């Protein structure tokens, strides 16, 4: 039942194998994995970390837990992931480099890491980020919490940067109810992560602690569930992709709808199937459609408020993120859990079609 035991080790081994890394450290959730990843790569108070603007808030919060500041990077319009060109541009032109220290020219703060978040089951275009990161000696921490099972140029997400983080909360592709994992090839970082996540015990008999640690380890009980879930990962990925294919076929010709695409360098799980609704052509906006579907008892959700707008984060002098703003306005995530039956999916499709045709009719555009 506790946080030591054979299932924790087995679950770590299974996830490391999948990510293609030497080491994995299980954590109580994905946010904890991100927090520890930032600490082990050496992020310190008042440093800055580049992170996606269009994501769930956890990675930005984890940066604040470390006492550092997030610098939000916009999404690119095609696959809706962190814009690698903007990352390169910011590091090349918005920062100064003296051969050892990289500083944000505007804030004077030390830029210490890049945290790309692979959202919705599709990868970020990592190569340009990895190249510029190498140039400026920055570790890349992949937030692969939405990307387990997905691949970038044939490589599993999470194992491409210096550290990868996963979440196994209730809505992820595999779940332990709550849980997370950090993966890396760096032995010293893995050891440090294990130490920090288990209360930083220097002497477990005498209870001597060398630093402030955290109670972040996953329990053996949940790890056992994780092992069983890992056996089903490929089947879950196949189910997600099948659901995506059916939506693609059924919604492709609806006016004003843009459906998610996978880049030719990507293997997407379509973990959270999300569409864009252009009001001018669909005759209905994403929030009106959400309400129409709710009346039909179909639950849908917008994406997250982009973090450069979040009231809890400090944006003074931040970089504009217009693409994230527009995606947030237009996006709607459709029901797509792996257990969604074909009948239920047909109900969703039918409800969307009626929502659009009724509106188009009302607006005289039909």
In the complex, what is the shortest distance from the CB of residue 1 to ligand PLP, in angstroms, rounded to a whole number? 20
Q: Which is nearer to ligand PLP, 31 or 345 (CB)?
A: 31
Q: How far is the CB of 298 from ligand PLP (least distance, A)?
A: 22
Strands 163-167 and 141-143: parallel
How far is the C-alpha of 160 from the C-alpha of 157, rounded, in Å?
6
Region from 6-14, 27-35, 132-140, 227-235 binding ligand PLP, contact rule CB under 6 A: 27-35
Binding status of residue 229 toward ligand PLP by CB under 6 A? no
Nearer to ligand PLP, 144 or 275 (CB): 144
User: How many other C-beta atoms are found inside a 10 Å radius of the C-beta of residue 72?
Assistant: 25
Selected from 47, 74, 142, 146, the binder of ligand PLP by CB under 6 A is 146
Q: Is 324 in the site for ligand PLP (CB under 6 A)?
A: no
Binding mask 262-291 for ligand PLP (x = CB under 6 A): ------------------------------
Nearer to ligand PLP, 59 or 283 (CB): 59
Smaller CB separation from ligand PLP, 226 or 283: 226
Is residue 116 a contact residue for ligand PLP (CB under 6 A)?
no
Nearer to ligand PLP, 102 or 222 (CB): 222
Q: Which of 12, 47, 83, 143 touches ligand PLP by CB under 6 A? A: 143
Smaller CB separation from ligand PLP, 167 or 184 = 167
Q: How far is the CB of 155 from ligand PLP (least distance, A)?
A: 19
Q: Which member of 180, 256, 283, 355 binds ligand PLP (CB under 6 A)?
A: 180
Closest C-alpha to 49, from 32, 30, 33, 62? 62
- Size of residue set near ligand PLP by CB under 6 A: 14
Q: Binding of ligand PLP at residue 345 (CB under 6 A)?
A: no
Give 305 or 357: the residue with its C-beta nearer to ligand PLP: 305
Among 145, 156, 219, 269, binds ligand PLP (CB under 6 A): 145
Q: Are 11 and 229 in contact (CB under 8 A)?
A: no
Name which of 29 and 324 has its Cβ closer to ligand PLP.
29
List the interface residues with ligand PLP, window 70-109 (CB under 6 A). Answer: none
- Region 28-67 residues binding ligand PLP, contact defined as CB under 6 A: 29-31, 55-56, 58-59
- Decide if 138 contacts 114 (C-beta within 8 A): yes
Long-range contacts of 323-326 (CB under 8 A, 24+ apart): 323/54, 323/74, 323/75, 323/76, 323/77, 323/83, 324/53, 324/54, 324/74, 324/75, 326/77
Nearer to ligand PLP, 117 or 282 (CB): 117
Residues that bind ligand PLP (CB under 6 A): 29-31, 55-56, 58-59, 117, 143, 145-146, 167, 169, 180
């Amino acid at each position: 039942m506790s946080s030591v035991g054979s299932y924790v080790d087995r679950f770590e081994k299974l996830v490391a194998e999948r990510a293609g890394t030497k080491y994995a450290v299980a954590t109580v959730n994905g946010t904890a994995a991100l927090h520890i990843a930032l600490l082990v790569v050496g992020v310190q108070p008042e440093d800055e970390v580049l992170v996606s603007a269009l994501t769930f808030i956890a990675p930005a919060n984890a940066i604040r837990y470390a006492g550092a500041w997030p610098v939000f990077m916009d999404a690119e319009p095609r696959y809706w992931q962190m814009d690698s060109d903007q990352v390169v541009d910011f590091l090349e032109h918005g920062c100064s480099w003296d051969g050892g220290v990289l500083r944000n020219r505007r804030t004077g703060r030390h830029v210490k890491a890049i945290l790309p978040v692979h959202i919705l089951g599709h990868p970020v275009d990592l190569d340009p980020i990895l190249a510029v990161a190498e140039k400026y000696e920055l570790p890349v921490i992949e937030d692969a919490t939405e990307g387990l099972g997905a691949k970038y140029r044939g490589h599993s997400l999470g194992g491409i940067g210096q550290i990868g983080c996963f979440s196994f909360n209730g809505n992820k592709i595999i779940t332990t109810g709550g849980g997370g994992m950090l993966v890396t090839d760096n032995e010293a970082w893995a050891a440090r992560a294990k130490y920090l996540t288990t209360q930083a015990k220097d002497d477990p008999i005498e209870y001597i602690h060398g630093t402030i640690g955290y109670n972040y380890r996953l329990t053996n009980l949940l790890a056992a569930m994780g092992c069983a879930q890992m056996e089903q990962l490929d089947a879950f990925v196949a189910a997600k992709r099948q659901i995506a294919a059916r939506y693609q076929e059924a919604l492709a010709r609806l006016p004003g709808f843009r459906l998610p695409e996978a880049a030719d360098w990507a293997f997407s799980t379509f973990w959270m199937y999300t569409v864009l609704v252009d009001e001018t052509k669909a005759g209905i906006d994403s929030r009106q459609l959400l309400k129409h579907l709710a009346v039909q008892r179909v639950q849908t959700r917008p994406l997250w408020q982009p973090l450069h707008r979040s009231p809890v984060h400090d944006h003074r002098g931040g970089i504009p993120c217009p693409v994230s703003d527009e995606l947030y306005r237009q996006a709607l995530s459709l029901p797509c859990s792996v257990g969604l039956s074909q009948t239920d999916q047909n109900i969703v499709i039918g409800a969307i079609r009626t929502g659009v045709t009724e509106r188009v009719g009302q607006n005289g555009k039909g």
